[in-house]
Amino acid sequence: MALVEVKAVWKSYPRRAGLRTELRTIVEDVSLSIEPGETLGLVGESGSGKTTLARMILGLVKPTQGKVVVSGIDVARSSRVDLHHLRRQMQPVFQDPYAALNPRMTVMEIVTEPWLIHGIIPDRQPGIETGRTSLRARAIELLGEVGLDESALPRHPHEFSGGQRQRINIARALALRPKLLILDEPVSALDVSVGAQIVNLLRRLQSEHGLTYLFISHSMPLVRYLSTRIAVMEHGRLVETGEAVALCADPQQAYTRQLIAATPELPADVA
């Protein structure tokens, strides 16, 4: 059974056109699925509808038509209790690693906030006290998973580099042990070498935790490297889908060939 099913989804917004109001369609009749444990790469130029589709999967935006089903639950029509439960199963990592972090919060507060919001007591470790001591121990463990150490806990986001901030974002996303991470251009704001480190971190975390990824990017080589399958969007429509290696080797659509030609190959440190 697919973890995510997007079924004939449309999303339109009203806009003024002179004295009239008309609908602007952002996503048009898109259907796709994401299987447990795979990475679906969603690729297309800016404005192709990728982020809007991701926001509908997360339940942040309701489809105009069609439906999004996650773990058998219709996201847009779910109860508050079901939606609260679903949001524990899927977490986003956004493009801008600084804007996604509250500048007034310490790293300790950032990575433990999901547990407090959802009323979860982190797994207790043998010999570790409950309460704040347990929270700190689990926060240290989370940071270790993304390559940061305990010294980060009392510091604020502005004290870190872009790559370190994105590691903090990823740690926060992992706190609830979700099934699905929605990665919306997670390395596009970083320089090439730092982005390569984050990409390799994501691959390792997926292997260690059995995560499912929706990986959104405009870079076809990056999507090809990380993805099991690729879905190509153009002007709100899904124009081509297929296994990553096969699609990149023999693209059927001119737009897909254009994306492959327009983006450079990955640096050598992505391996």
Encode pLDDT of 130-182 as tens digits. Answer: 556 678 889 999 999 999 999 999 999 999 999 999 999 999 999 999 999 99
Per-residue pLDDT at 100:
86
Whether residue 68 is predicted with pLDDT greater than 80 in this model: the reply is yes
Please write down the HEC assignment for all residues of the chain.
Answer: CCCEEEEEEEEEEEEEECCEEEEEEEEEEEEEEECCCCEEEEECCCCCCHHHHHHHHHCCCCCCEEEEEECCEECCCCCHHHHHHHHHHEEEECCCCCCCCCCCCCHHHHHHHHHHHHCCCCCCCCCCCCCHHHHHHHHHHHHHHCCCCHHHCCCCHHHCCHHHHHHHHHHHHHCCCCCEEEEECCCCCCCHHHHHHHHHHHHHHHHHHCCEEEEEECCHHHHHHHCCEEEEEECCEEEEEEEHHHHHHCCCCHHHHHHHHHCCCCCCCCC
Query: Residue 188 is encoded by which pair of tokens?
Result: 């596009």
Residue 34 lies in a domain: yes
Encode pLDDT of 191-241 as tens digits. Answer: 888 988 999 999 999 999 999 999 999 888 888 889 999 999 999 999 999
What's the whole-number mean pLDDT along residues 37-60?
Answer: 93
What's the whole-number mean pLDDT along residues 81-108?
Answer: 89
Looking at the 3D structure of the chain, how many domains does it have? Answer: 1
Residue 270 lies in a domain: no
Q: How many angstroms from the chain centroid is the CA of residue 25?
A: 23
Per-residue pLDDT at 266:
57
Measured CA distances, 210 to 92, 197, 213, 252 (Å): 16, 20, 10, 31
Range of the domain at 219: 4-99+178-262
Residue 268 lies in a domain: no
Whether residue 129 is predicted with pLDDT greater than 90 in this model: the reply is no
Q: What CATH number has the domain bearing residue 86?
A: 3.40.50.300
CB hemisphere CA count around 192 (13 angstroms): 8
Strands 73-74 and 237-243: unpaired
Confidence class for position 20, pLDDT limits 50, 70, 90: confident
Confidence class for position 94, pLDDT limits 50, 70, 90: confident
Per-residue pLDDT at 126:
46
Look over the chain and give the mean of its residue pLDDT values, rounded to a whole number.
Answer: 89
Looking at per-residue pLDDT, the higher value among 81 and 50 belongs to: 50
Residue 142 lies in a domain: no
Backbone φ and ψ for 167, nearest 5 degrees, come out as -65, -40
Residue 213 lies in a domain: yes
What's the whole-number mean pLDDT along residues 101-127?
Answer: 80
Whether residue 15 is predicted with pLDDT greater than 90 in this model: the reply is no
Q: Which pTM value belongs to this model?
A: 0.89
Residue 92 lies in a domain: yes
Residue 141 lies in a domain: no
What is the rounded CA–CA span in Å between residue 148 and residue 176?
Answer: 18
Percentage of the chain lying above the pLDDT 90 cut: 66
Residue 42 lies in a domain: yes
